[in-house]
Structure 1
Amino acid sequence: MATPVSATPTKAKRKLALVIGIGKYQHIGSLSNPENDADDMTSELKSIGFTVMKALHLTRDKMNSVLEEFKKSIQQSDMVLFYFAGHGVQWKDQNYLLATDIPNVSGIDLNEKAINAQRFLDDLCDQKPFVTIFLLDCCRTSYRNTFQIDVQNANTEESKLADFKEMHGAGALIAFACAPGIPAIDIPAGSVPRNGLFTKYLLRHIKTPNEDIRMILSVVRKEVKHDSKSRQIPFISDGLLEKNIYLCDQPQRK
């Protein structure tokens, strides 16, 4: 006798998150909000059932260790969420996340001195999770003039540092704080807002029950655009293979 097919949608086995905030940079401009962003994101995710690993102000070696530990913790069919607040930069069509001890480097040194974001996304997808949510609040304005570019190649496209480019991953949803090539707005120290603009609205909506993450991010994008007077517009790259991805999944009342 054939086993009946359940009409219930497939759900993630577990909900795991890695949250990283880096603002205390040793050699480039510090950022005001990433620690608050990471603290608040951790609290919100825990409140909707995520097991969260949080790390702040990591050196590159420590960050590599944390990323590896998180990757190894993933089991097939887990819902996986990665959130990063801090400095990020693009060089030669690759996006890099910058640790607290990043020196003044030429672009080519980023391969050894920074974290390749696409490579880490690919590592997560290789674990075959249910879905991967990749949230990057790191296209900041204040890094641009802090790097020492190779003078001999200063006028070539290869040597130019830029803001983040689009990323892709099968079964992954990647959200950037701003559109490719446009920096996010960093809030100066001492100002009233506690969080970066993208994270502010993400925190406001991430706990919406039974709402697809794509719809949540659509609302976040509209509110960031309005608040920034169109100077900052979050960008979404959708490679999800599943429908109705709820971060906050609650039973429906009958």
Structure 2
Amino acid sequence: MATTGSRRKLALVIGIGEYEGGQKLPNAENDANEMSAVLEKIGFIVTKKLHSARIEMRFALVAFEESITSSDVVLFYFAGHGTQWENHNYLIPKDNNGIDNASLKTRAIDAQKVLDEFSVRDPFLTIFLLDCCRTYDVRSSNSNPRNPTGNEPKLNGLKAMDAKAGSLIAFACAAGATADDGIGQKNGLFTKHLLKHIAIPKQDIRTTLALVTDGVMAESNSRQIPFVNLSLRYPHIPLCDELSGKY
């Protein structure tokens, strides 16, 4: 078993729901707040950002990356809108007014690039938890300004990512599919089940995500199926060796 208890555990948690260009997500703030709380209970040093514009997201990501050392356990959680375009996954910031497919590279955050930048720091373990597979409407750069709502692409979900050595990426739903934002509940469906299982002591992270997948599938009648992409070296990696407080 590869224990994480003696290692420094760092988490960057971002929740964005108050989108300036519409398509708001009422549960993203709750998701980020509750995920931050449970991660702190299991020993993570948590940096939390809510409703961030792109420049604030970028500053937070750079500062977090620069804090990573080779023995750290690193976790990145994002609740908000995400979309894929030209084989890249983009995390959408709060200032999404006027974002079109041609401006995603400069106005959104490339998730694979974030993972690559974290991996360069050679942490012991990197975990990405992406609860951002909602349907997101992106305006085409070639759209007719006289008919701005006509024939706009609906970019559904995210694509599979390249898991670097020592990394695990968990998506709220299968590649190209969309996730349930938990309308009428306080959490999105994926995060709801993460919160239920992530703080179980001594439990391997792969078992945790299997339980999350089972719970999400059962509650959604298999309409939503989380997807995990990983490249882990050790056979048993618990995120929680013991609780540091009551949860």
Give the TM-score normalised by the residue count of structure 2. Answer: 0.90
Could you list the runs of 5+ residues in structure 2 that have no partner in the other structure?
A: 145-152
Contact 2:3 2:237 (8 Å CA) reproduced = no
CA distance in 1, matches of 2:237, 2:30: 26
Say which SS state the counterpart of residue 209 (structure 1) adopts: coil
Structure 1 position 215 matched with structure 2 position 207: yes
Report % sequence identity: 50
Which residue does 2:149 correspond to in 1? none
The match for 1:235 among 214, 227, 230 is 227
Which residue does 2:173 correspond to in 1? 178
The match for 1:224 among 216, 219, 233 is 216
Structure 1 residue 185, shift from structure 2 partner? 1.2
Q: How does 1:26-175 map to 2 (within 5 A)?
A: 26-141=20-135, 143-144=136-137, 147-151=138-142, 161-168=155-162, 169-175=164-170
Contact 1:107 1:160 (8 Å CA) reproduced = no
Structure 1 residue 248, shift from structure 2 partner? 0.5
Larger Rg: 1
Contact 1:28 1:104 (8 Å CA) reproduced = no
RCO higher in structure (CA 8 A, sep ≥6): 2
CA distance in 2, matches of 1:27, 1:138: 17
Which residue does 1:3 correspond to in 2? none
Which residue does 1:14 correspond to in 2? 8
CA distance in 2, matches of 1:246, 1:152: 48
Say which SS state the counterpart of residue 76 (structure 2) adopts: strand
Contact 2:9 2:45 (8 Å CA) reproduced = yes
Contact 1:27 1:104 (8 Å CA) reproduced = yes
Which residue does 1:246 correspond to in 2? 238
Give CA deviations for 1:145-184 in whole Å, capped at 9, x if unaligned: xx2113379xxxxx87342000122210000000001010
Say which SS state the counterpart of residue 130 (structure 2) adopts: strand
CA distance in 2, matches of 1:151, 1:58: 28
Closer, same or farther: CA 10–184 of 1 in aligned 2, 3 Å: closer
Contact 1:91 1:162 (8 Å CA) reproduced = no
Supply the RMSD in Å over aligned alpha carbons: 1.8
CA distance in 2, matches of 1:238, 1:102: 30
Could you list the runs of 5+ residues in structure 1 that have no partner in the other structure?
A: 1-7, 154-158
Give the TM-score normalised by the residue count of structure 1. Answer: 0.87
CA distance in 2, matches of 1:243, 1:125: 20
Give CA deviations for 1:193-229 in whole Å, capped at 9, x if unaligned: 1100000000000011101000000010011011001
CA distance in 2, matches of 1:53, 1:32: 21
